[in-house]
Amino acid sequence: MMKYRPLGRTGVQVSAVTLGSMLFGTTTSSDEAANLVDQALDSGVNCLDTANVYGMGESEQALGEALRRNGRRDRLVLASKFHARVGDDPNDEGSSRRHIIQQVELSLRRLGVDHLDVYYVHRPTTLVPIDETLRALDDLVSTGKIRYVGTSGFAAWQLMESLWASKEHQLARTVVEQTAYSLLDRRVERELLPMAQTYGLGITVWSPLAGGVLTGKYRDPSAPQQTRFADDKDSDWASKHFTTAADDVVDGVVRIAKDRGCTPAQLCLAWLLAQPAVSSVVIGARDSDQLTDQLGAVTLELSADELAALDRISPPGRAVVPYFLDDSFADLRPHLHRW
């Protein structure tokens, strides 16, 4: 049975898992996507996650068709994102007022809805001061186009700065951060999660299975070949996941899951759900079987011994495969922040 948790201090109840749609309209056809959405909603999932950049709008389009088909939009916490490059024009990316207002209209149209429940800033930037971005988002809250502001891939200090700017300028504040967190990258435990708990921010988690690596299937020669990394094993991103250190974590996950009698995916998701800062884990499923497997994690309670065993194979606060947090500093221009 589904469990619900508070989204930070908003009072909104969100399902322990959110259905991600990054591959909808591309890897996953619109029909398959609609079936996955129905299956998730039938299981009690009430959160859907997309972004303007997923499939360059195809994900939102497919999700929109699914929502029209099932007619259950009103029960959902629907989230999208802006920031990533979505076209050739110099202004087709970023966190400017101009881009934000243009993109929210496009996302609403593709989704066929009149508002988003959460609108995430997909990545931090120092090219636009945060108060400029927050002011545009605050206007979207006032005009009813969005209910809440979220961030994604922000470091703890960037989130604190955003809360500070909201307070200083009386703007809608960020209520949730969507972050990379898994047994291959636990760095958010150092600062981001304690910060979120202290200030009442919700945390949603992306790539909880490290793109499927944590299921152990890449260690198993008999596993199906149709996978995210199968054709792509030599890319920089994939090869980051196929190191001896990552293999050791995966082997440990497979062993502990076997002892517990669950699947590795369920173990990894249940471990995330056991972290008190986490509001909802954003899952990605290629098909109905994967979704069924992942939904099984919701009722899986791990024992103290199992949690300790996972700490031994992947120590708290450490990264074996570093995800994107470091990108937060790539375009640092501190002078813009003297506001």
Ligand X SMILES: NC(=O)c1ccc[n+]([C@@H]2O[C@H](COP(=O)([O-])OP(=O)(O)OC[C@H]3O[C@@H](n4cnc5c(N)ncnc54)[C@H](OP(=O)(O)O)[C@@H]3O)[C@@H](O)[C@H]2O)c1
Span of 139-147, 156-164, 210-218, 303-311 interacting with ligand X by CB under 6 A? 210-218
Q: Does 284 bind ligand X (CB under 6 A)?
A: yes
Q: Which of residues 257-276 bind ligand X (CB under 6 A)?
A: 265
Q: Does 207 bind ligand X (CB under 6 A)?
A: yes
Closest distance to ligand X from the beta carbon of 169 (Å): 25
Which residues are tagged catalytic?
Answer: 54
**Residue 253: exposure state from Cβ atoms within 10 A (0-12, 13-18, ≥19):** buried
Reference 162, options 121, 191, 127; nearest CA is 121
* Element spanning 48, H or E: strand 47-49
Could you give the string, one character per residue 162-191, with x where binding to ligand X holds by CB under 6 A and - elsewhere? ----------------x-------------
Q: Does 65 bind ligand X (CB under 6 A)?
A: no
Which residue number, 57 or 284, has a Cβ lying nearer to ligand X? 284
Q: Does 294 bind ligand X (CB under 6 A)?
A: yes
Q: Does 43 bind ligand X (CB under 6 A)?
A: no
- CB hemisphere CA count around 76 (13 angstroms): 30
Site for ligand X (CB under 6 A): which residue of 26, 126, 290, 328?
290
Reference 121, options 161, 80, 156; nearest CA is 80
Q: Does 279 bind ligand X (CB under 6 A)?
A: no
The SS3 call for residue 150 is strand
| # chain residues binding ligand X, by CB under 6 A | 28
Site for ligand X (CB under 6 A): which residue of 93, 212, 257, 310?
212
Q: Does 129 bind ligand X (CB under 6 A)?
A: no
Q: Does 153 bind ligand X (CB under 6 A)?
A: yes
Site for ligand X (CB under 6 A): which residue of 8, 64, 150, 211?
211
Could you tell me the CA-to-CA distances from 170 to 20, 135, 139 in Å, in that order? Answer: 32, 9, 12
Q: Does 102 bind ligand X (CB under 6 A)?
A: no
Supply the DSSP symbol for 298: G
Closest distance to ligand X from the beta carbon of 338 (Å): 29
Supply the DSSP symbol for 111: H
Max CA-CA distance within the chain?
58
Closest distance to ligand X from the beta carbon of 228 (Å): 3
Reference 115, options 151, 152, 77; nearest CA is 77
Which residue number, 252 or 296, has a Cβ lying nearer to ligand X? 296
Which residues face 179 on adjacent strands? 205
Reference 86, options 108, 60, 59, 53; nearest CA is 53
Q: Does 208 bind ligand X (CB under 6 A)?
A: yes
Which residue number, 139 or 227, has a Cβ lying nearer to ligand X? 227
**Residue for token digits 């991103």?**
237
Reference 255, options 314, 206, 178, 320; nearest CA is 314
Site for ligand X (CB under 6 A): which residue of 125, 215, 279, 280?
215
Q: Does 193 bind ligand X (CB under 6 A)?
A: no
Could you tell me the CA-to-CA distances from 197 to 35, 176, 208, 317 in Å, in that order? Answer: 35, 11, 20, 16
Residues that bind ligand X (CB under 6 A): 20-22, 49, 122, 152-153, 178, 206-212, 215, 217, 227-228, 265, 282-286, 290, 293-294
